[in-house]
Amino acid sequence: MNLDTITLIFGTGLFFIGITGVLIRRNAIVVLMCIELILNGVNLTFITFSHIHGNLAGQVAAIFVIVVAAAEAAVGLAIVIAVFRRHPSINIDEFNVLKW
Amino acid sequence: MNQTLPNFPLSILYPEMILTISACVLIFLARAFARAHKHTLSSIAFFSVIAAMGCAGSLWNFPRWENLIEFFLIDRYAIFFKLVLLVICALTILISKRFLSDTDTERGEYYGLILLATIGMMIMVSGADLITIYLGLETMAIASYILAAYFRSDERSSEAGLKYFLLGAFNSGIILYGMALLYGATGTFNLAEMHRIVSGLSGPAELRLLYFSLILLVAGFGFKIAAVPFHMWAPDVYEGAPTPVAAFLSAGSKTASLAVLIRVFTVAFGLFTELWQLWIAYISGLTMLFGNIAALRQTNVKRMLAYSSIAHVGYMLLGLASGIEMGSSAVLMYAFVYLFANIGLFASLILLTRNGVPKESTADFSGLSRRHPLIAFAVTIFLLSLTGIPPTAGFIGKFYLFMAAVKSGYIKLAVVGVLASVISLFYYMRIVMAMYMEKPADTDAAALQPSTSLGYAFSIMVFVILAVGIYPGPLLDLARESLSSIKILS
Amino acid sequence: MITFLSFIFTLVGLTTAILVVTSKVPMNAALFLVVTLFTVAANYVLLGAEFLAAVQVIVYAGAIMVLIIFVIQLVGFQPSKDGSVQKQTPIAIVAAGLLFVQIAFYTVRSLTQLNGIQKPVQAAVDHTASFSQTLFTKYLLPFETASILLLVAIVGTVLLAQHKGIRE
């Protein structure tokens, strides 16, 4: 077991834990956090491969992912607030105007 | 340090730059001048899109610069899609004005976000590099989430925004992981370089990595273009989003994602062509059948249009499955042809909307021929084009798609496609019947006056559909030429 | 030593990640997520990406998590009811677990081949300098695109979260 193997397993693990979370949780904010887990898993994979290949492209990708994650979180939380103003609850399954 | 800034003429970025400046003007000046100059907002947006179109068009004969700029391609393929996306953007602006002023929500930010989303799409189709593609994709996606939730006071709109956001962000994660595995197998993000490295790969584990990344990318892009079984979000989002936004998303974000899908798969996964073509063929068959059958049951026209747009993605995938040569150029053509009829129908929904009260059921179309014969004629043309009946452009598009499928041996799939078109005839013709055979539901005929911009939009769309339907030669050549530029790369 | 540290961080990180998914109270999930983000940052340092580790701590664990916790406070605690977990839970877990094992197995297997072509990281001199060199030359256009993306996010957030409705 070397360093790359361990971090790669960590990244893959985060990705799949995140996916499972998105599929099984219903609270919008928790789903958002699971999406952050997915993005972190991806980032760790990028950086591990960057380490393996010895080029910096993977790290550049990772920093862009962080930028996008920040933008996504801001917009997502704004939407959650907009929805929350109308509904006192933010559990996804309690929306039934449109079928889920 | 030996790395220097790539040296390239700035003119290749003019279309994006014009739109960026215009979007900033719309967002910031609109705040400053408040409501006094509302009518100028849409004109600023519209004319900047026209200017961008001119700039993009003038790059058609531009020499290829891929050696200088590794991350941004100006080939004919990219320019073709840029022009298509700009047309979509311009039409969306034309049809938005009436809808927004009716509901008193016309704001600079709306047009600004439409332009910014278009910039994202244009960067996406030019991306020669997975990082560029990803950032363009996210710019488009984030702007779309906001636009879908634009009517914050409307329950359906903010809910559509939330659903679109959660599923879209989840999906971007999947695409991104696919890209990470691709990077892991090849060590580069550049598509052309990837093509070179992939052809030299032999280790079974590396091929397995590529295989996984292919699965993830098919699922991810399948979601973006709303192909079955990744389509669940589309009907809800299109129904809930403001009508012009739904038109923009169903035409624009699909076209851009399809363009990227074709480029990434033909260039980076050239080695796996047979494999992914088989998958795409299955997805295409499922999508055509499911989209049309589900559309058959809808009474809400907006929801029906959502399912029909799913079905049309199925037709386009049919072309993609049948090979790069003929099939993909048919896809390019169909993407162009489809947008007019699709946006046209959404525009007719906008026309029927009165004072912000949506009129979206089939019954609301009844007697339209008596209330406004010209509009009824236009809607009929759009529906004929979507069904694929001559002399409309939709017929030409479908003809080439099915022909390509038959030539490349997907005869069963072509039969499925024809069957699916027959199914679609039922629900499209239901609207035509309502328009011509039934009496108007309400006699308030005077209220149905299209605004100037809507009128222009309608006449442009009808003209293009008929013109391409009768004289398709130039468009076909254009599509072929665009596609040949992607082949040089691979 | 490095491998051992990485192993510890990975263990902690994966455990807290599972706790993010399973905890019933959103605030607990957020706090566990902060721990996960820190362990990821620690692994970045071990992999030689110090700059990214700093960004991870400042932007992710700092800014984004503060935002999330702020919104959780704003909308109030919502201890989820039993119904907060969906019906397909076991299937989802099993499917994700199987895929994880497969992908992890093959990525790790491919490592043995990739390690053969391993080159030293370009910038033994100054890692952050060469990182920014790459970012601002080769990836200049994506960088500019990121600024457009942030503009979209700013405009959108203001538009959606402002108090007065759009239909005044």
The full set of domain ranges for chain C reads 1-78, 115-168
C33 with A10: Cβ contact below 8 A: no
pLDDT over 60 at B146, yes or no: yes
Give the distance from residue B24's alpha carbon to the nearest chain C alpha carbon, in angstroms.
9
- Closest residue on chain C to B138 (Cα): C149
Instruction: Measure Cα distances from A64 to B131, B276, C20 in Å.
Output: 8, 29, 24
Q: What is the pLDDT of residue B442?
A: 63
CA distance C36 to A5: 18
Cβ burial, residue C14 (10 Å; 0-12/13-18/19+): middle
State mean pLDDT over C82-99.
67
- Give the tokens for residue A46: 């990028």
Are B115 and C128 a contacting pair, CB within 8 Å? no
Q: What is the pLDDT of residue C167?
A: 45
Task: Choose the closest CB to C110 out of B129, B138, B206.
Answer: B206
Map tokens 């809910």 to a residue. B159
In this structure, is residue B68 part of a structural domain? yes
The string of pLDDT tens digits covering residues C27-63 is 899 999 999 999 999 999 998 888 899 999 999 888 8
Q: Please tell me what DSSP assigns to residue B62.
A: P
State mean pLDDT over B125-148.
92
Residue of A50, A67, A79, A94 to mutate for C, most C C-beta atoms under 10 A: A67
Residues, chain B: 490
Instruction: Measure Cα distances from B225 to B215, B219, B252, B313, C47 in Å.
Output: 15, 10, 10, 7, 37
The string of pLDDT tens digits covering residues A52-99 is 888 888 999 999 999 999 999 999 999 888 888 777 665 655 554 333
Cβ contacts of B102 on chain C, cutoff 8 Å? none
Q: What is the pLDDT of residue B231?
A: 86
In this structure, is residue B4 part of a structural domain? no
Q: Is the dihedral of CA B252, B257, B258, B264 positive or negative?
A: positive
pLDDT over 80 at C81, yes or no: no
Query: Cβ of B172 under 8 Å from any chain A Cβ?
Result: yes
The string of pLDDT tens digits covering residues B252-262 is 999 999 999 99
Are B236 and A98 a contacting pair, CB within 8 Å? yes
B169 with A72: Cβ contact below 8 A: yes
A54 φ/ψ sector (left φ>0, alpha ψ -120 to 50, else beta): left
Q: Please, which residues have CB within 8 angstroms of residue B125's CB and are 6 or more apart in sequence?
A: B77, B78, B81, B82, B85, B136, B256, B259, B260, B263
- Mean pLDDT value across chain B: 85
State mean pLDDT over B228-248.
89
Interface size, chain A vs chain C, as Cβ–Cβ contacts under 8 Å: 246
Percent of chain B with pLDDT over 90: 36
Tell which residue, B162, A22, A65, has the closest CA to residue C149: A65
Biggest CA pair distance of chain B: 77
Residue B355 domain boundaries: 11-489
Give the distance from residue A23's alpha carbon to the nearest chain C alpha carbon, in angstroms.
7
Categorize the per-residue pLDDT at B310 as very low, low, confident or very high, splitting at 50, 70 and 90. very high
Interface of B with C in 348-387 (CB under 8 A): none
B177 with A32: Cβ contact below 8 A: no
Cβ contacts of C130 on chain B, cutoff 8 Å? 1
Give the distance from residue B485's alpha carbon to the nearest chain A alpha carbon, in angstroms.
26
If one counts every other C-beta atom within 10 angstroms of the C-beta of residue B447, the result is 10
Task: Choose the closest CB to C71 out of A6, A43, A80.
Answer: A80
Task: Choose the closest CB to B159 out of A68, A72, A83.
Answer: A83
Are C138 and B71 a contacting pair, CB within 8 Å? yes
Map tokens 């721990």 to a residue. C35
Categorize the per-residue pLDDT at B59 as very low, low, confident or very high, splitting at 50, 70 and 90. confident
Q: Please tell me what DSSP assigns to residue B437.
A: H
The string of pLDDT tens digits covering residues B382-411 is 999 999 888 888 899 899 899 888 888 888
Task: Choose the closest CB to B71 out of C129, C139, C152.
Answer: C139
- Give the tokens for residue C37: 């983000």
Percent of chain B with pLDDT over 70: 93
- Closest residue on chain A to C58 (Cα): A66
- Give the tokens for residue A53: 């290949």
Q: Which CATH number fits domain C1-78: 1.20.1440.230, 3.40.190.10, 1.20.1250.20, 1.20.120.1200?
A: 1.20.120.1200
Cβ contacts of C60 on chain A, cutoff 8 Å? 36, 40, 66, 69-70
Number of domains in chain B: 1
Query: Cβ of A47 under 8 Å from any chain C Cβ?
Result: yes
Q: H helices within chain A, ranges in order?
A: 3-24, 28-53, 57-86
CA distance A31 to A65: 18
In this structure, is residue B3 part of a structural domain? no
Cβ contacts of A52 on chain B, cutoff 8 Å? 184
If one counts every other C-beta atom within 10 angstroms of the C-beta of residue A97, the result is 13
Chains that touch A (3 or more CB pairs under 8 A): B, C
CATH topology of domain A3-94: Helix Hairpins (1.10.287)
C155 with B104: Cβ contact below 8 A: no
In this structure, is residue B1 part of a structural domain? no
The string of pLDDT tens digits covering residues C3-14 is 899 999 999 999
Q: What is the pLDDT of residue B66?
A: 53
Helix (H, G, I), strand (E, B) or coil at A91: strand
Query: Cβ of A78 under 8 Å from any chain C Cβ?
Result: yes
Most confident region among B144-153, B452-461, C147-156 by mean pLDDT:
C147-156
Q: Please tell me what DSSP assigns to residue B72.
A: B
Q: Please, which residues have CB within 8 angstroms of residue B404's CB and are 6 or more apart in sequence?
A: B318, B319, B322, B323, B326, B327, B330
- Terminal Cα distance for chain C, rounded: 62
- Give the tokens for residue B293: 């059958």
CA distance A53 to C30: 34
What DSSP assignment string belongs to B117-170?
Answer: HHHHHHHHHHBSBHHHHHHHHHHHHHHHHHHHT--TTSHHHHHHHHHHHHHHHH
For residues B234 and B445, which has the higher predicted lDDT (pLDDT)? B234
Q: Please, which residues have CB within 8 angstroms of residue A10's CB and are 6 or more apart in sequence?
A: A41, A44, C6, C9, C10, C13, C14, C40, C43
A92 with B134: Cβ contact below 8 A: no
Cβ burial, residue C164 (10 Å; 0-12/13-18/19+): exposed
Residue of C7, C20, C141 to mutate for A, most A C-beta atoms under 10 A: C20
Q: Say if residue B242 is preceded by a cis peptide, omega within 30 of 0.
A: no
Q: C-alpha dihedral over C69, C70, C73, C74, to 10 degrees?
A: -140
C156 with B143: Cβ contact below 8 A: yes
